[in-house]
Chains A and B, each alone.
Chain A
């Protein structure tokens, strides 16, 4: 039905639009044809030629009028009106280049910032993951009384996988770094150990070759490797000839059997994937061992997340009964993959999007104010058009077209700006945004920008348009109107706009202020050691080359020796885990004479193998006893140094020195007892949280308990730490040419990385709040300057009557400050409600922190007073004679 209708009507509409002249000519021909025939008819019936023609014309009643009526049936007049309005709008904008430039720049900034933030939100929060039916993918975690959420142990993973009916399958992934040699310098790669089921489960096919087969994913199967697209391009120039060739990872040769499609990543980017089963085969048979297995399941068709959760709880409960010694208090957690990946970043992004929207609102307020100011000067123009018969609605439409046009041009520049801002924004974000890839200006972002532009155009255009269309024709057309038009109502609208702007700016400033105070608190936190002049580097060892404990311990010893003997280095040491990195493993232990009565009594502390010299290098205060020395080896009595928290937690009211502890949840004669020989001050694993209880073990002794294959080397340098990098590199190369040295950085960088999320949020919100403040001040300044100009004759009269400049100053500034104070009050109230949204980002500062609230209010009032004072100053210079002469 519709299609058929369009077959006839669409060509007509197009013709009316694009071949208007031809359509008009046809119409002309048609009507004249009618008149000719009519004339002929009358002539035939005996009328004179002249008379006949006149009669025919009379009957049709005016050719032009009929033509207009026929044209009115064309249904495209609204489009033609729009085109006319657009042309007119463009002309008006060109005629006021100053206004237009300011408005477009303001809008470009406001809309551009919105588009930039939205494109991150779009890519991170809105876009589904690039997997088949990704809403059905779930992570399966374990939960223990001491850890609310952790990766499942291998044995539990296998039981989950084999017993579930809610999931089609549960695949597993383990992430670890591997060293590639034989291809230029030794390179550390991010590797994924994936089950053969992982790729089909995700719905990912190999771009070249094939993903793992079940025959490859077994212990003793062929050593095969899949390359990520980026790694393949980077290292092998995208050549297909690499398929079937071998690469060496951790000193084992792997055959390349497939290339993964571009953009593929799960959880985080990886360079290569190798089969899971050979790795899992080397794991201890211990349900309490959590080696970092990421379990990913796909829900069966028709099974809800709730049902899957219920089933996994049941399975977990069964396992707890079956293995009471291991799985005490264990439970299973199921969460959607996408939700889990963005859980941490969602609130921050939404807060930023909200903030940037507020900035745009303030910008709209400013432009509405500018338009209202312009309204006065356009009164006459509007009055003329209304007098000539333009309807009121028609005028509103015309003015709205102008403002929407302005917004669209602003948005176009805004998109350009967003494109430019994107790279610095992502650089700044760093690890704060999950690496989803594809963050950019796609169709959705363009659509969002268009909608925002249209909304914004109507938003800032509507009030001025309604105001202007209400113009009273007579006074506007007579010249007497000068200086009195507008009236109280228009002023009220402008005042409301400025009050709103101030209030919104207060909200943003308080938000930013809270984050800044929180960030500076965070930076003031004492990490428990002296972080300046420390150079840090990670040295992962290949388990194949350093299979023998003696080999790797000797390597580590000589490494620390060499580092210590570098000319610029004062002292050096090594540790398995550095402080302030947010990670680090914890281990069960027991105290001699106090065995746990039930598994609920198991105790857990941070586990920190360190070399001699490490604690000294960090300048950690020694409180009692001694530190770890070179004579603490696997052959000497086992010792441990504990931190203050551990001493207080487990040995309250007594000295921890001389007490004996053992690794492992329950006493075991095969494991050596360690004597506590020293107590040191607390170091923080995360600036934002309290120090945890930790024990420090000599490297060599710890290696005999759990083999250690990596070390973070720490050196205290005399000069700027990074000046020693090349010396360190050559020292390591002398020791072993195949030894990668990764992530060389200063300890201060290390700490900065740990608070980079907080830094990102704080800086961005700070920028938004700063822009908001600036915009609100410009708005206020504009309002006062305008009102001074409008009232110059009144001011002139006042001065003629004896008012002093000071009185005028007080009057004008007072008028502005009244608005500011209302805005501040409203803003404080708004901030009091909204700052709660920031609670989870705050450290050591309450969301209603009085100092921030009062400080922001005072600062804003002070700068606002200056913004009012400048035009007020000008008002005092009004010459009464000149001002009065204008009347």
Chain B
């Protein structure tokens, strides 16, 4: 199985929620955006993207609907729900606390 790195797995949910918070989009666009915004650092494989999206959908954090895209094709568009927005806030706060704690620890070592 092509797993993303451990750090990413723990926060993949948050990243996906964040991306979908900007605008509703389909899976393909999410994968593009993910690469783009992380400047290709986060190599989330296409393989792990879809199970992650489905998991968020089953949690009720994102919801999906089928739309006809600009290419004239049926595509599944995901958008954030109110629950998803709350979840994103929670995870972002956690992340802030964690990352600032870690950076303090790192600085401590350098000193």
Contact = CB atoms under 8 A, between A and B. Distances in A.
Interface of A: 4-9, 12, 26-27, 29-31, 33-34, 36-38, 56, 59-62, 65-66, 69-70, 72-75
Contacts of A4: 60, 82-83
19 contacts: A8-B63, A8-B81, A9-B58, A9-B59, A12-B57, A12-B58, A26-B76, A30-B50, A30-B75, A30-B76, A33-B73, A33-B74, A37-B71, A61-B1, A61-B45, A61-B47, A66-B50, A73-B54, A74-B58
A33 B75 contact: yes
B45 A73 contact: no
B95 interface: no
Task: Tell me the interface secondary structure of chain A in the complex.
Answer: helix
A75 B46 contact: no
A800 to B, nearest CB: 61
**Which of A5, A30, A66 has the most chain B CB atoms closer than 10 A to its own CB?**
A30
Interface in B1-57: 1-2, 26-28, 31, 45-47, 50-51, 54-55, 57
A29 B46 contact: no
A45 to B, nearest CB: 13
A60 B47 contact: yes
A8 B2 contact: no
Contacts of B2: 61
Nearest to B32: A41
B27 A30 contact: yes
Nearest to A57: B46
A73 B82 contact: no
B46 A59 contact: yes
A103 to B, nearest CB: 39
Nearest to B86: A1
Interface residues of B, number: 27
Contacts of A7: 60
Given A36-B73, A69-B50, A72-B51, 6 more contacts: A8-B63, A33-B73, A33-B74, A34-B31, A65-B1, A65-B47
A59 B47 CA distance: 7
B50 A34 contact: yes
A33 B68 CA distance: 12
Task: Report which residue of A29, A36, A66, A74 has the largest number of chain B beta carbons within 10 angstroms of its beta carbon.
Answer: A66
Contact of B83 (A5, A31, A34, A73): A5
Contacts of B82: 4
B45 A59 contact: yes
A878 B45 CA distance: 69
A69 B73 contact: no
A33 B25 CA distance: 13
Contact of A26 (B26, B45, B51, B66): B66
A5 B60 contact: yes
A15 B66 CA distance: 15
List 6 tightest A-B contacts by C-beta distance, closest first: A61-B47, A8-B60, A69-B51, A70-B54, A73-B55, A37-B28
Contacts of A29: 74, 76
Contacts of A73: 51, 54-55, 57-58
B46 A34 contact: yes
Interface in B61-85: 63, 66, 71, 73-76, 81-83
A74 B53 CA distance: 12
B57 to A, nearest CB: 7
A73 B27 CA distance: 16
B81 to A, nearest CB: 6
Nearest to A70: B54
Contact of B28 (A38, A61, A62, A70): A38
A37 B73 CA distance: 10
Nearest to B59: A9
Contacts of B59: 9
A4 B85 CA distance: 13
Contacts of A72: 51
A8 B83 contact: yes
A6 B63 CA distance: 12
Nearest to B60: A8
B106 to A, nearest CB: 34
Contacts of B76: 26, 29-30, 33
